[in-house]
Amino acid sequence: MGFSGFKSTSELIADPNILPNEMGVYLVLNSTNKKIDFLTKGVGGFFKGKDPNISLEELKKNWVEKSITIYIGKAGGINKKATLKSRLKQYLRFGQGFNVGHYGGRLIWQLKNHSELKFCWLTLTDIEPREFEKELISEFIKKYGKRPFANLTG
């Protein structure tokens, strides 16, 4: 589909300047074949005082077996200023415990292997990222019967 990047969480934290300054969509992938372990208390920040963690039971219920895609996100829009770079930097800072406004997708920070997860992105120039994100989530639901693990809405 033209996605690029495929950088780990730790690689992007070390060098976020490789992220594009354009709007688009991104995926968070669990490309390892390791058994998934959940953390009772994740590493995400408490945005607006809200605890980002959910119970182990809920995490297990949200998990989608046989899928490497665990989150589908968007950045920006035709009339919005956010870019993949600004949005993913915010997401990564949230995962480092900072209280920033990226509450969506927060469940990845309750995965023990969160630093090994891969991020890839697709820049968009004339397609609204929100619409493309909705299409990707819809296709995922058709295949797996539920949303990606960390997509709590959409």
Contact predicate 7/118, CB 8 Å: yes
CB contact burial 44-64 (16+ within 10 A = b; e otherwise):
bbebeeeebbbeeeebeebbb
At residue 138, the pLDDT reads 97
At residue 133, the pLDDT reads 97
Average pLDDT, the chain: 92
Ranges of residues in the chain with a pLDDT under 50 are none
At residue 126, the pLDDT reads 87
Q: What confidence tens digit (pLDDT) does each residue in 74-97 have? A: 999 888 889 999 999 999 998 998
3-state secondary structure of 10: helix
| Burial status of residue 100 (CB atoms within 10 A of its CB: 0-12, 13-18, 19 or more) | middle
Q: Which amino acid is at 51?
A: D
At residue 38, the pLDDT reads 96
Cβ neighbours, 10 Å, residue 116 = 14
